[in-house]
Structures are given as structure tokens and as C-alpha cells.
Amino acid sequence: MEGEDSSGKLLAVATPLVRSRVLGRFLGFDGVPLYLKWEGANFTGTHKDRAALLHARRAAELGFPAVTAGTCGNFGVALAHYARVFGLKAVIFVPRGYENSRVGEMVERGAEVVFVDGRYEDAVEASVEAAEAHGWYDANPGGRNGSLSLEAYSAIAEEIVAELGDAPYAVAVPVGNGTTLAGLYRGFLRAYREGRVTAVPRLVAATTSHANELASLWFGEKLEPERVVETWVNEPLVALRALDAELALEALRATGGCVYAFEDEEMVEAALLVRALEGLPALPASASAILALERLAKGEEVEGPLVAVVTGRWRGRLRRL
Ligand SMILES: Cc1ncc(COP(=O)(O)O)c(C=O)c1O
């Protein structure tokens, strides 16, 4: 991941692909290398930096005065950060009462935060309307500039390919809207078409068992909004309307991928394991990617390296549920 500010200073670099020495063995991946694509190394702690950087840079190039997005937290902090880097105002719409939100960090970075009654989807809608009304740059996923987010996340795939010299067997990605997963697909597909990898890896979606539209579509189940349980653990993965579900489903089907959904307790345990065995402060929601690989490996003969995309940004003590 690269980007330069006006003075030519490097804003961000490729995140590390960490070869697990202990976790893989602990989980029983005998003879199969496990890698963690450590997105916690991004400046504000998650892969959302990648999209925020490209959006803010484009907004500045196009002469917009402000960038806006609806967010549950991580994307908002990233957007606030890169808006400031490029001298723009950031207006972040956040659902009121979000337990795990990083509002304080958005404000510290100079963003204006607007609280919205309702859920994540309502915050995105309010942001899109405000962009229209005030002539701001719309950085929301799935919207008019959504393709740039896909491009940003395609760099995760490019970095994995550059590091391994070929595609891994499977890559697991924590999924909310499906944007990150669809972006990785774009990157791997490009590498395949350009002859840089011998195959496109199986893409595996890891999400919450409590309301994600992509998972519902995949399993053919009805999503019942009234039964949604949103917590500090699953918040990044809950999506009543997964804004890039179609693209992500296409990626899953085209690569022989699958979807696994997890309970909060499982994700917290996985995050504790990553912390204890690899020393990385993984966010529980993103530790779901490791659980997804464990499930995959239990169900089939895995024929090559496995990669889990894992983000950071869990501050403070991780409490067992
Ligand atoms: C840490 C983390 N993981 C995963 C996701 C889900 O990504 P996407 O919405 O691109 O599927 C998010 C989204 O906010 C996130 O913050």
C-alpha cells in the first residue's frame, strides 16, 4: 500500500505477511503454512486506511472541500486521518449509541461527527444525502466512488502475491459489507490474468452469526432485523444490507469459496489466541478469519498456504465473554 503526500513523504507501506510458527500448529494445520496478513500495521490500525487514503487523495485532486462516510468506527478514524493529511474536512456519520465506536479518535483527528438515529445503514444513507446536498466527496462503500475502495483492497492481494511469489491456497477475510473480500478478488484476478499467479485462491468469508446479509444470501436464510444482536465484538461484521454483497458473492462463487459465521465468544477466544501465540493485538471480529481457515481445513484437504486477513485496533484489556 503506497501513497505520498504533497511533500513526497510516504504515507503508508505494505503491511507484513506474518508466518505463524505456533498458531497454525496449535490449530492443527499440519504441514500447511499459515500466514496472517497483519492489517493492524496500518497507521490507524485497520485495512480501512487503504480505502481512506485513496478516497481522500482523490477528493483533494478533484477539489472537494470535504469527504464523508457513514461508519461504525474503523473507517471513520481512517477517513478522519487521511482527510487531515490532504487538508480536507471529514464529516463522519455514526449511528448513535454504537458501543465500540472510535468517535473520540475521529474528533481528535479534526473530524466533524454527526450522530444518526438508527443503524449503520441509516448513517450511510445520511452521509450520501449530505454529500449530494453540500457537494462533498462520498467515500461510502457501494456508492458512486465504491470502486476506489475495491482498488484499495486489491492491494492486499497484490502484496500477498508479491510476498509468496504465487497465490496461496485460500485467503480468509472478515466480512461486513463484502467490500474487502471483493477487493481482494479483484487483485488476485488481475494477478492471474497477468500471469503472475497460477490460480486464484479460494476466498473464504468470515462473519458474525448475528445478522450479515451476505451470509444470509449464501445460506439461503431470511435475515430478520428484529433478531439482530449487535455487540462490541460483532459490530464491524453486522450488515443488514451488505453494500457489496453481489460482488462478494461473485468472488466466492468464482473461487470455490465459502462463508463461515461465528459467535462472539469464538471470536474473542480466537483473538486471545492470536495475542498469546503470535503477539498480535487482533480485533476479535477480524480473528474470525482464523476460525474460518480452521473450519475449512477440517472439511477438506488443504493443498497449500493459508492466509488470514487480520486487523488490529483492540485497545485495552480483552475480556473473555
Ligand atoms: C476490522 C474490520 N473487519 C472487517 C470489516 C468488514 O469489511 P467489509 O465491510 O469491507 O466487508 C470491517 C468494516 O468496518 C472492519 O472494521
Q: Is the dihedral of CA 178, 181, 186, 187 positive or negative?
A: positive
Tell me which DSSP letter residue 212 carries: B
Region of residue 247 (left: phi > 0; alpha: psi -120 to 50; beta: else):
alpha
Instruction: Read off the pLDDT of residues 139-178 as tens digits, 9 standing for 90 and up.
Output: 999 989 999 999 999 999 999 999 999 999 999 999 999 9
What's the pLDDT score for residue 292? 98
Distances in whole angstroms, Cα of residue 123 to Cα of each of 94, 120, 283: 6, 5, 23
Ligand 1 pocket test, candidate residues 72, 311, 313, 314, most atoms within 8 A of CB: 311
Q: Is the per-residue pLDDT at 100 higher than 70?
A: no
Q: Is the per-residue pLDDT at 271 higher than 70?
A: yes
Return the ligand 1 atom nearest residue 39 CA. 1
Question: Three-state DSSP class for 52?
Answer: helix
The DSSP code sequence of 134-187 is HT-EE--TTSTTHHHHHHHHHHHHHHHHHHHSS--SEEEEE-SSSHHHHHHHHH
What's the pLDDT score for residue 71? 92
- The rounded Å distance from CA 261 to ligand 1 centre is 14
CA atoms of 159 and 275, how far apart (whole Å): 23
Residue 44 burial (10 A CB sphere; 0-12, 13-18, 19+):
buried
The residue to which cell 500477498 is assigned: 160
CA atoms of 254 and 123, how far apart (whole Å): 32
| pTM of the entire predicted model | 0.94
Instruction: Read off the pLDDT of residues 75-84 as tens digits, 9 standing for 90 and up.
Output: 999 999 999 9
Q: Whose CA is nearest to atom 13 of ligand 1?
A: 236
* 167 close to 199: Cβ distance less than 8 angstroms: yes
Q: Is the per-residue pLDDT at 34 higher than 50?
A: yes
Give the residue-averaged pLDDT of 68-77.
93
Predicted confidence band at 8 (pLDDT cuts at 50, 70, 90)?
A: very low
Q: Is the per-residue pLDDT at 12 higher than 80?
A: no
What's the pLDDT score for residue 10? 56
Residues 6+ apart with CB under 8 A from 96: 115, 116, 117, 118
Predicted confidence band at 29 (pLDDT cuts at 50, 70, 90)?
A: confident
What residues are in contact with ligand 1 under a 6 Å CB criterion? Answer: 46, 48, 72, 74-75, 174-180, 236, 283, 285-286, 311
> If we measure between CA atoms, which residue out of 183, 191, 190 comes closest to residue 161?
191
Cα 299 to its chain centre, rounded Å, is 25
* Maximum alpha-carbon separation in the chain: 56
What's the pLDDT score for residue 97? 78
What's the pLDDT score for residue 5? 58
C-alpha cell read off for 121:
445503514
Ligand 1 pocket test, candidate residues 121, 156, 286, most atoms within 8 A of CB: 286
Helical residues (DSSP H) of the chain, grouped into ranges = 23-27, 48-61, 74-85, 103-108, 120-134, 146-164, 179-193, 213-219, 245-254, 264-278, 284-299
> If we measure between CA atoms, which residue out of 84, 76, 114, 108 comes closest to residue 236?
76
Q: Whose CA is nearest to atom 15 of ligand 1?
A: 236
Q: Is the per-residue pLDDT at 258 higher than 90?
A: yes
* 321 close to 48: Cβ distance less than 8 angstroms: no
Ligand 1 pocket test, candidate residues 39, 46, 98, most atoms within 8 A of CB: 46
Q: Residue 116 forms beta bridges with which residues?
A: 95
User: What is the pLDDT of the chain when averaged over all its residues?
Assistant: 92
* 120 close to 73: Cβ distance less than 8 angstroms: no
Q: Is the per-residue pLDDT at 7 higher than 70?
A: no
Instruction: Read off the pLDDT of residues 196-248 as tens digits, 9 standing for 90 and up.
Output: 999 999 999 999 998 999 999 999 999 888 878 888 899 999 999 999 999 99
What's the pLDDT score for residue 315? 59
Q: Which of 12-26, 32-46, 239-253 has the lowest mean pLDDT?
A: 12-26
Q: Is the per-residue pLDDT at 285 higher than 50?
A: yes
Residues 6+ apart with CB under 8 A from 173: 180, 181, 184, 203, 204, 205, 206, 289, 309
What's the pLDDT score for residue 318? 60
* 213 close to 242: Cβ distance less than 8 angstroms: yes
Q: Residue 12 forms beta bridges with which residues?
A: 3
Percentage of residues in the chain having pLDDT higher than 90? 82
* 174 close to 237: Cβ distance less than 8 angstroms: yes
What's the pLDDT score for residue 320? 65
Ligand 1 pocket test, candidate residues 77, 94, 121, 175, most atoms within 8 A of CB: 175
- The rounded Å distance from CA 104 to ligand 1 centre is 19
Q: Residue 171 forms beta bridges with which residues?
A: 203, 307
Give the residue-averaged pLDDT of 8-14.
63
Q: Per mean pLDDT, which of 21-25, 26-30, 260-264, 309-313 is the most reliable?
A: 260-264
- The rounded Å distance from CA 287 to ligand 1 centre is 12
